[in-house]
C-alpha cells in the first residue's frame, strides 16, 4: 500500500510540474501579441514628427536585399522603400522615396508590394531610417479615411 501511495504522489508532482510548465508557455505566447492603449488621434498628431501617406515601391525583407528576416511570405515585408504620396507633417516631399526600418514587433505593419498606407513615423538618428511609430494610427490607406480627416483638420492640410 505504501508503494502505491508513493507512486500516486509522484504522479501528482509530475502533473503539477507539467501544468506549471504549460501555463508558463501559454503566458509567454500570449505576451507576444500586440497590446496597445490607444491615445486620442489628436495626441498622436501633436506628438508625431512625420505623418504621411505612401505607396510601397520595394520590399526589403528579402534574401536579395540582405535584410532577410525569417520572411516566409515573399509578398510581404516589415522593411520597405516607400514613395511619399502626401506629407501632412514633417519635411518630406511628394514623390520622395524613403526607407522604412522596423523593430519587427507584433505591432508593426506588415507591408505588401504596391500597398498604400497612412503612416505615423519617427526617424532613427543612427541609421537615418524612418520607423513606424508603435501604437499609433498607422493603417492601410483604405481603412484610414477617418484618421486622414482628423489629420487634415488638426494640421490645416490643404489638398491640391
CATH number of the domain to which 100 belongs:
2.40.50.120
Claim to verify: residue 56 and residue 105 sit in the same structural domain: yes
Q: Render pLDDT for 100-137 as a digit per residue (tens, 0 to 9).
A: 988 777 788 889 999 999 999 999 998 888 999 988 99
pLDDT at residue 16, as a whole number: 61
CB-CB contact of 145 with 137 (8 Å): no
Around Cβ 18, how many Cβ atoms within 10 Å?
10
Quick check: pTM over 0.95? no
Grid coordinates representing 126 are 543612427
In a domain, 94, yes or no: yes
Grade residue 29 by pLDDT with cuts at 50, 70 and 90: very low
User: What is the rounded end-to-end Cα distance, in angstroms, of the chain?
Assistant: 89
Claim to verify: residue 27 and residue 67 sit in the same structural domain: no
Q: Render pLDDT for 60-111 as a digit per residue (tens, 0 to 9).
A: 887 665 555 555 567 788 899 999 999 999 999 999 999 998 877 778 888 9
Segments forming the whole domain that contains residue 15 = 1-32
Claim to verify: residue 17 and residue 53 sit in the same structural domain: no
Amino acid at each position: 500500500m505504501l508503494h502505491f501511495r508513493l507512486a500516486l504522489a509522484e504522479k501528482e508532482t509530475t502533473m503539477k510540474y507539467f501544468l506549471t510548465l504549460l501555463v508558463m508557455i501559454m503566458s509567454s505566447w500570449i505576451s507576444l501579441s500586440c497590446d496597445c492603449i490607444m491615445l486620442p488621434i489628436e495626441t498622436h498628431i501633436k506628438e508625431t514628427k512625420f505623418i504621411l501617406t505612401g505607396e510601397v515601391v520595394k520590399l526589403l525583407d528579402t534574401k536579395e536585399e540582405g535584410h532577410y528576416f525569417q520572411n516566409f511570405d515573399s509578398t510581404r515585408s516589415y522593411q520597405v522603400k516607400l514613395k511619399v504620396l502626401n506629407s501632412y507633417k514633417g519635411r518630406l516631399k511628394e514623390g520622395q522615396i524613403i526607407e522604412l526600418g522596423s523593430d519587427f514587433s507584433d505591432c508593426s505593419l506588415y507591408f505588401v508590394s504596391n500597398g498604400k498606407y497612412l503612416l505615423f513615423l519617427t526617424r532613427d538618428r543612427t541609421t537615418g531610417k524612418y520607423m513606424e511609430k508603435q501604437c499609433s494610427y498607422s493603417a492601410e490607406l483604405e481603412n484610414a479615411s477617418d484618421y486622414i480627416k482628423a489629420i487634415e483638420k488638426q494640421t490645416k492640410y490643404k489638398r491640391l
